[in-house]
A and B are shown apart, each in its own frame.
Chain A
Amino acid sequence: MVLTLFAILIAALAVLGAVACFVPRLAVTVGSAGICCAAVVLSVAALTGAGAATLQLPTGPWGAGLHLALDPLAASFLLLLFLVMPCADTAPLPLAAMGITALAGDGFTLAVGLLLLGGTTCLRFTASAVVCLIVAFALTGPLGDFAAIRAAPPEGWRATVVVLLVLAGAGALCRINTAIAVYLVLRVLFDLCGEGQPLWWGVPLLLAGGAIAAIGSLRAALADTLHTALSVSSLHLFGMAAMALGAALFARAADLPSAASQALDAAWLALVCHMLCRTLLVRCAGAVESGAGTRRLDRLGGLIHRMPVTAATCLVGLFAVAVLPPGLGFAAFWLVFQSLLAAARIGGLGLQLLIVSVTVLAALSVGLAGLAAVRLFGEVFLGRPRTPRTAVAEEPSRPVGFVLGGLAALIALLGLLPALALLPAAGWTHETDAISFVILRTGAETPGYSPIAVAGLLAVAVIAAWRGLRRTAEQRREPAWSGGFAAQPAWLPFGDPATQYGPASFVEPLQRVAAMLPPLAASRRGLIRCRDAVLRTATTLVVR
């Protein structure tokens, strides 16, 4: 019943997408928002109602028909996608494609959904992902019917090839939609390929997660346009989700179900945080760009005076992304750290060292994310405007403001009550004992991390500091002094922008430190020295 309704909604979205160019833009937006709201309600209904359902569509190749299937995994991802993606201003057709992908009951339907999703925007990556998946599903049986694969999972070299192909496909899909990539890994590696997997399946995920986390935060710290900076600033959370998936595969291979469900919880929370923060921050970047007329960081500045709402919502997003307590990102990182700790107790010394190095990468990404968040907020919203255009920036329109505010409120709420974000995934993570609303923990009786308590303590401390040192009534404004800085002359109303520390200068020390990294510098120097030695020996030999 629910599945049929879902199919109707997706068809409606597809129709809306097809006629989008003939009807007014407002009608399309309102229509797709309404359909998405209905889809969210339906996914909640599917999550509360028990059991799985399948539906055979009347169309399909060779008279076989396309299958749609609804289970807790699909329902939780539908909830996430239909809640978040409309806020990112996604067109109806990609929304329909996401619905098809998440509801696909066989490999062919999945491929169709993916092609619809990315075929128009990012053909190269979509095509490679689809080719990988089609080959993988062809290895498992005709059309890759999920129920059939589940009954007889691939074994031996087939399983190896399928896993590698699916991981490669998911890697390509990261460029299109990260949630879909995670969904694919969860569906194939955790659901279809059955229990009793070898230990190494987690290794590529751990390595890729570490690399994505570190490189993503580094890119966010070094970016010079607002859009790049804000869109990659939550990438380390996606990397952490991949790490947690790897840790979950380790735990499954070692037959530790509670550790596995904990790691799955961690992956889900990191993914939710990534999706929400990314959407919020990209919308903030759009608001700043349209309000201040540029996306270059070195032309922005001082926007908090002109765009307070955007600044506040952006701060909420950056706080979550910077992995600071009591934000959502910290809750996710706490769970990921716990799952890495649990995974470090499995396997031999080699695997343990892998986990330790991945932990270092995760920690580095956390530090870099903090630096990137301070840099972005400080350069864009604080200080003085760097151009006259920035000095007259304007807040976005009211609907955009509502979207920003709603997303920020959701992120703050989930940061305080992470269990709320874990609830939709309870059906497939099989977490039973440790879900509690006030505290995140690893076992029923162990101490853990309680965001509510931290927030309460912080509130008490803030009030005490505020009251304890009551501000004297008198306040006055003076030109900043800092090292001989003077008031701006009348002919330079916004001051000389060059006297402010710019975004490029802010990361200059980081670049110097990165250049100092011993392996890179040493290998280059060593290569040059080797080349010189070879040349010198050759010359001496020839001369003699």
Chain B
Amino acid sequence: MTLLVGLAAQLLHIALMGAAAPMLIGVYAWMQARLAGRVGPSPLQPWRDLIRLSHKHTVLAESASGATTIAPVASVAATAIAACLVPSFALGMILSPFADLLLIAGLLMAARGAPALAAMDAGTAQGGMAASRAMLLACLTEPALLLVLFVLALLAGSLNLDLIAAMQLENGADWRIGVGIALAATLLVALVETMRHQALRLDLGGRDLALIEAADALRLLAWFNLIGAMFVPFGMAPAGAGPIAWVVGIIAWLARTLLLAVALALAHIMHGRIRLPRAAQVLGVAVVLGLLAAIFLLADMGTA
């Protein structure tokens, strides 16, 4: 019975993620435009773009190899698995025993490396430059992100995201200060991680471009869900709960996602494009915050 409920929750989650990811990008772009005083495109625009791109013929660069074809598929597959492992509205989905935080971080890292390879495949200056910048940022996010994971795993006794979310749900009342600092570090990491590298896809077209766009959309949603599940899983249906709890969970998830989208749009409006040195500084601050969180938590554990 629990197995069936878990399976149903998982399928609903996958359908929800697939439908919502491009919508989220659309809503986000619309919100950014409204905040900047423009009318903005329809929130459905990314869906239309995806359909349009997937009907186009493929144009490949002359020096392109199989990497240009394979990398977008690999990227979207890795991101999709990460997105389907991170719970959105219910805990105890059927894949939850595999929802390891390190695994999710690794999948997201792999999903960043593949487009970089595709960009280098065309053999042009801009592709290489974009790949270099994207990889540098991906490399610098790793210390801060893994520190946060370390802190959470120390607290929950496991790296499993479901157990961590369940622990946060239980401890909702007494939030430790270390967790708050870790949340701040994660928000900084997410700010950099959700940056879209337009130059990475200059030499992609048609289906390959559609896949990369889909991967970007899924990545944004996966990051929002990740922040939600790691720190504020409030409203999520506990494992084994029925459809009524799911409805509550979906409403809470919608509210959380919209809130994060507004916050991200505001951050991007206020700071404009984040330049590379600035992004590196932001990640440096995130590492320092992660260290602080670890110190607070360890001191806490020592006295407790």
A interface list, Cβ under 8 A from B: 301-302, 304-305, 322-325, 330, 333-334, 337-338, 340-341, 344-345, 348-349, 352-353, 356-357, 359-360, 362-364, 366-368, 370-371, 373-375, 377-379, 382-384, 442, 446-450, 453-454, 457-458, 461-462, 465-466, 469, 471-472, 474-483, 485, 487, 495, 499-502, 505-510, 512-513, 516, 518
Q: Answer yes or no: B29 CB below 8 A from chain A CBs.
A: no
> Is the CB–CB distance between A485 and B106 below 8 Å?
no
* Chain B residue nearest in CB terms to A506: B132
> Is the CB–CB distance between B143 and A364 below 8 Å?
yes
Contact of A480 among B107, B124, B294 (CB under 8 A): B124
Q: Answer yes or no: B274 CB below 8 A from chain A CBs.
A: no
> Is the CB–CB distance between A480 and B136 below 8 Å?
no
Contact of B63 among A330, A367, A474, A480 (CB under 8 A): A480
Kindly list chain B residues whose C-beta atoms are within 8 Å of the C-beta of A508: 132
Roughly how many angstroms separate A337 CA and B162 CA in the complex, as a whole number? 19
Roughly how many angstroms separate A362 CA and B145 CA in the complex, as a whole number? 12
Known: A457-B84, A462-B77, A501-B129. 17 other contacts (CB 8 A): A304-B66, A324-B106, A325-B106, A334-B103, A337-B146, A338-B159, A360-B146, A370-B135, A374-B113, A384-B123, A454-B81, A457-B81, A472-B206, A472-B207, A481-B61, A483-B202, A501-B120
B interface list, Cβ under 8 A from A: 54-67, 73-74, 76-78, 80-81, 84, 95-100, 102-103, 106-107, 109-110, 113, 116-117, 120-129, 131-133, 135-136, 138-143, 145-147, 150, 153-154, 158-160, 162-163, 202-203, 206-207, 210-211, 276-277, 280-281, 284, 287, 290-291, 294-295, 298-299, 302
Roughly how many angstroms separate A372 CA and B117 CA in the complex, as a whole number? 12
* Chain A residue nearest in CB terms to B61: A480
> Is the CB–CB distance between B207 and A478 below 8 Å?
no
> Is the CB–CB distance between B123 and A500 below 8 Å?
yes
Contact of A367 among B77, B81, B141 (CB under 8 A): B141
> Is the CB–CB distance between A370 and B138 below 8 Å?
yes
> Is the CB–CB distance between B211 and A469 below 8 Å?
yes
* Chain A residue nearest in CB terms to B141: A367
Roughly how many angstroms separate A114 CA and B82 CA in the complex, as a whole number? 47
> Is the CB–CB distance between A478 and B128 below 8 Å?
no
B212 vs chain A, min Cβ distance (A): 11
Contact of B67 among A382, A447, A465, A507 (CB under 8 A): A382
Contact of A352 among B54, B117, B298 (CB under 8 A): B298
* Chain A residue nearest in CB terms to B129: A501
Dominant secondary structure of chain B at its interface with chain A: helix
> Is the CB–CB distance between A495 and B123 below 8 Å?
yes
Contact of A458 among B78, B124, B138 (CB under 8 A): B78
> Is the CB–CB distance between B67 and A304 below 8 Å?
yes
> Is the CB–CB distance between A384 and B56 below 8 Å?
no
Kindly list chain B residues whose C-beta atoms are within 8 Å of the C-beta of A325: 103, 106-107, 110
Roughly how many angstroms separate A476 CA and B210 CA in the complex, as a whole number? 17
Roughly how many angstroms separate A485 CA and B80 CA in the complex, as a whole number? 33
Contact of A485 among B76, B125, B136, B206 (CB under 8 A): B125
Kindly list chain A residues whose C-beta atoms are within 8 Å of the C-beta of B203: 480-482
B255 vs chain A, min Cβ distance (A): 29
Roughly how many angstroms separate A356 CA and B290 CA in the complex, as a whole number? 10
List 10 A-B residue pairs with CB atoms under 8 Å apart, sorted by A's residue number: A348-B302, A360-B146, A368-B139, A370-B135, A471-B58, A472-B207, A485-B126, A495-B123, A501-B124, A518-B284
